[in-house]
Structure 1
């Protein structure tokens, strides 16, 4: 009988500890200030070496190039711009935005360089699992995932 009592105490303490850790983790997560923009997939997928590279790496390309129009209001004046997403790919249940390397716009592979060039994509679509940056000339896929420095 005493073994059952000890076992119940251990299980209760373990459940309380897991509940405490879950609440702490939830409280430390940054609040999403705004839901990400929604986009419609472009079923027209142009043939490109990057598509073959993605397929060979286990990704399924589900959308071709997307143009994301942006409007900023600065002192009541509207400024227009846009972002381009080259492809959208999935691997299992994970959705990734795909950006091709552009020789005229090289990415400085430092924290600030990645933030400057690629963060807007990850912030506009917080539901995506990350961004795939493809250098087709070198057959290289870089997986970029936004994470926090907080432990």
Structure 2
């Protein structure tokens, strides 16, 4: 790089790269907290089924359905094993987002605090902007909302 032209090209490229990085960082910092959920809401189609109608009866607007979140698990620096998390719908009520899970007969929901923690806490941690997790109980046409609250530690 002996010529002045090479230095000018490198300087212009560095300025463009710097501008691009600053712009991306600024966009990321000023992104609203629920932007991830808004993107997710546009990805899945919604089929009008009995569960969607039940949610609508309870005042929810179903935004999208049938979501699969890919994860990888590695044990002791071994190879990564693929797995997935599923939830059935993303819904909105009173400008608050909710993840929706259906209570299925093969894996009925156990309504103790420890069982709810083991089964649903991962969703609350993965989507902290959600106001809660709605469980649809099709047998009794009921809907229950689960929220997690961090308690103050014991002394």
Q: TM-score, length-normalised on structure 1?
A: 0.70
**Counterpart secondary structure, 2:68:** strand
Q: Cα RMSD between the aligned structures?
A: 2.1
Indicate the residue corresponding to 1:8 in structure 2. none
Tell me by how many angstroms 1:136 deviates: 1.3
| Distance in 2 separating the partners of 1:75 and 1:93 | 43
Tell me by how many angstroms 1:98 deviates: 0.2
Unpaired stretches in structure 1, ≥5 consecutive residues:
1-34
Indicate the residue corresponding to 1:20 in structure 2. none
The reply to whether residue 123 of structure 1 matches residue 129 of structure 2 is no
| Distance in 2 separating the partners of 1:141 and 1:101 | 10
Query: Match for 1:108 among 107, 110, 129?
Result: 110
| Further displaced range: 80-89 or 40-49 | 40-49
The reply to whether residue 40 of structure 1 matches residue 40 of structure 2 is yes
Indicate the residue corresponding to 1:22 in structure 2. none
The reply to whether residue 144 of structure 1 matches residue 149 of structure 2 is no
Tell me by how many angstroms 1:117 deviates: 1.1
Unpaired stretches in structure 2, ≥5 consecutive residues:
1-32
Kindly report which structure 2 residues correspond to 1:16-55, keeping only aligned pairs within 5 A, or say none. 38=36, 40-41=40-41, 42-55=43-56
User: Which consecutive segments of 4 or more residues in structure 1 shift more than 6 A?
Assistant: none
Tell me by how many angstroms 1:116 deviates: 1.2
**Count of aligned pairs:** 116
Q: TM-score, length-normalised on structure 2?
A: 0.69
| Distance in 1 separating the partners of 2:65 and 2:139 | 20
8 Å Cα contact 2:44-2:66 kept in structure 1: no
**Counterpart secondary structure, 2:74:** strand
**Counterpart secondary structure, 2:151:** coil
| Distance in 2 separating the partners of 1:54 and 1:91 | 10
Indicate the residue corresponding to 2:61 in structure 1. 60
